[in-house]
Every structure is written in structure tokens, then in C-alpha cells.
Amino acid sequence: MKRFLNILINTAIANTSTFFLWSALSFWLYLETHSVLILSLLSGTFMILVTLSGMFFGTIVDKHRKKRVIAVSSAVALIFLLLAVSLFLVYDREAIADISSPAFWIFSLSILLSALVSNLRAIALSTTVSILVPKEDYARANGMVGMVQGFGMIANTVFSGLVIGRLGIEWATFITVGLSFAALIHLFFVPIPEERLHHDPEVLNKQVDFKGALKAIHSVPGLMALIIFTTFNNFIGGIFMVLLDPYGLEMFSVELWGLLLGFTGTGFIFGGMAITRKGLGKQPLRTLLYGYVIGSLICLLFTIREWPWLFLAGIFLYMFSVPFIEAAEQTIIQTVVPKIKQGRVFGFAQTVESAATPISSYLIGPVAQFSIIPFMESGAGKEAFGWLLGEGNARGIALTFLLSGIFMLLLSLLAFRTKAYHRLSESFRKSK
């Protein structure tokens, strides 16, 4: 467990620094452009790349030692960050902020690609749980991952808001490079004992092993259903990715919004702490689906009035529920899938789950920007939904959240009725 904590902390520093810059970029882009569409395009592009790379990354994890994978991932992410920094030596700030300038797109895509490569570290981290942690402690180890994600989220949102508000995007980039370099150096002193871990001979000569992943998944009754179920959370995540910052920045200054997001991010920590202390119960799959129901209700209700306390309470509760969802999925896969195949299964899961996020990002952004928001600003929209959503500057975004929450709630409740739900619950019970 001590060795797992070391690699967890290292990965947390590297990922936190990368996603700190991604959060800062989102704040900066909206303040510069006031366009939900630009955020939608970048977020959707990021998630499409996550979808396309998931199986490739998973195959890499199963073919190589985990420490080597994490080190290469950290180094490549740092290269992309250095490319972003170098643009400040060639272009002035106004050119980088101009969406018609090549510098803007090179800068944004460099940050996007550094965040993308970080997903390789995340897949490798998931497989280290079964290498370093006893099976009975998988849930608690995954709870620790949730806690660390919570600390990272707080750091991301609080400091990205302050840095963008006070110093600018340049300093956000410099800080990220420094932290990423420190994490790479620290990694050389973190041991991951893999001498007894034998690699699957089926994967050694393959770049992308879909066949091996599908074979491992189909060998566990109901496991494919788990992967499909987890797309529900990514659908909600895509909506939050596009709309949360615009809604928050309509209500608060960028500095205050970053601080408030940091406060609500403590929900991740408390959720992870609860799992670490109590586990996930005897049926993690049931816990996962309850998490989807809670997330759907929050999405439906937390912007129903433009009340800051309701909005922030909803975000906090959503953050609290996310570690339960993610830890349940991780624990089930780590328990029912052999160690030598976990990288490909996690990679396949990321591919399928992530596909829901660009769909919701690309769909929600344009629909909200060109249809729902103008409708709610019109007299007809206020007359039709004013009784339900009240008044305010972001009622169009609120209606988008409401409709998405209703859709997701229906899907989540229907999942309890499927045969796959009962089959996977039984598979997990037999593998414990």
C-alpha cells in the first residue's frame, strides 16, 4: 500500500498540473470569446481523441512495465507543454487569444494533447492497484484515488481561477511545466515491483488488441453491460464540461468562480474518504447505478433557479457521488479481470465510455448556443418556462441541464431492470 501511495501521489502531481492548465484554458477561452461553441468544440475534440486512443493506450499498458509507461507518458506530456510555452516567445498575447490566428489553435491543441497523454498514466495507475494492493482493499485504494482527484480538482479550479484573473494564461503555462518536470524527476525514485508479473503473449506483437480486450470482457458475464452503463456518467460529464463554466462565469467573477469550484471539489475528497473508510458495499454495481440516479437528479434540479447556494450545493453533491461511480467500476474490473489483461479492458472501457462525452459536447454546445439559449431569451421562452426556471441571465443553460437530467434519469432507472445488471452482480460475487 505504501508503494501504491507513492505512485498515486506522483501521478496526481503530474495529472493535476496538466489539468490545472486545461481548467485555466477553459476559463481564459470563455472570458476572451464568451462562446459556448468554442468550449464545446475543444472539449468534444479532446474526448474524441480519448475515445480513439483508449485501446492503443490500454495495449501499451499490457505490453510494458507500468513504471516505464508512466515515465514515457509524463515525458511526452511535458514536450507538448514546452511547445505551448515556446509560442509566448514568438507571438504576443493578443495573437494567441485570437481564434483566427494559427497561434491560438497551436497553443490550444498543445495543451489538449498534453492532457490526452495523461490518460495513459491514468490507465497504468488503474492496473497498479491489482499489482500493489490486496484484493480485499481494492475498493479502499480506489477511494484513495477519488480523494487525490478531489485535491487535484481543488488545486485546478482555485489556482486556475486566481492565476487567470491575476496573472494570465502565460503564468498558468509556466507553472504547469514546472510541476510536470518535478513529477517526472520524482518518478525515478518510485518503485513498482513487477518482476512476477508476466505479460500476455497474445499482446506482445500487437499495437491495438481489440480482440484480446473483447475476449477478456466476454469471458465475464455482464461485464460489457458495465462498460455501457458507465457511458451514462460520461454523458452527464460532457454536459458539465461544456456548460458548467459558462453558467458559473455568468454568476461570479473568474477569481470567485475558481474558489467556489475549489470548495465544491471537496465533495471528491469526502466521497473518496467515505469509500476508504466504508468501502462500496457488497454490490458495487448497485452503488454505481445509484450514483447515476443521484447525478441525474442533480443535473435536473441544481439550476432550476438562479440561486448561487442551490447551484453550488448541486455541484458539491455531484462531486461527492463521482468517486463512488468511478471506484465501483474500477473495483469490479480489477476483481473479475486477470492482471495481464486489465490494461486492454480499461482501455476498451475508456474508448466506449468516452464516446458519450464528445456526442454530448458536440450536441449540447451548438443546440444550447443557437437554439435553447436564444429561445429562453425570447418572450415565448420566458412565457413557456418562466414558471419553472424563474428569471436570470442563464435560463437557456438551465433548461439544457433540466432536459439532460430527465433523459439521464430515465436511462439510469431502466438499467436496474436489465438482465446484465444481475449477471454482472453474480460474476463479481463469485470472483471475490
Question: Comparing C-alpha atoms, which of 336, 315, 311 is closest to residue 392?
Answer: 311
Gap between the Cα atoms of 95 and 102, Å rounded:
9
- DSSP, collapsed to helix, strand or coil, labels residue 194 as coil
Residue 359, pLDDT above cutoff 80: no
* pLDDT for 208: 65
* pLDDT for 47: 73
Mean pLDDT to the nearest integer, 62-75: 83
* pLDDT for 190: 77
Residue 313, pLDDT above cutoff 90: yes
Instruction: Give tens-digit pLDDT for 79-99.
Output: 988 888 888 788 777 777 777
Instruction: Give tens-digit pLDDT for 222-241.
Output: 777 777 777 766 777 777 77
DSSP state string for 211-280: HHHHHHHHTSTTHHHHHHHTHHHHHHHHHHHHHHHHHHHHHS-HHHHHHHHHHHTHHHHHHHHHHHHH-S
Give the rounded percent of residues in the chain with a pLDDT score beyond 90.
2
What is the band of 165 on the pLDDT scale with cuts at 50, 70, 90?
Answer: confident
Rg (Cα) of the chain, in Å, rounded?
A: 21
The answer to whether 398 and 303 are in contact (CB under 8 A) is: yes
Domain borders along the chain are 2-190+209-431
Question: Comparing C-alpha atoms, which of 162, 20, 171 is closest to residue 88?
Answer: 171
The answer to whether 15 and 118 are in contact (CB under 8 A) is: yes
Would you tell me how many other CB atoms lie within 10 Å of the CB of residue 143?
Answer: 27
The answer to whether 6 and 143 are in contact (CB under 8 A) is: no
Per CATH, the number for 2-190+209-431 is 1.20.1250.20
Q: Quote the cell numbers at residue 179.
A: 510541476
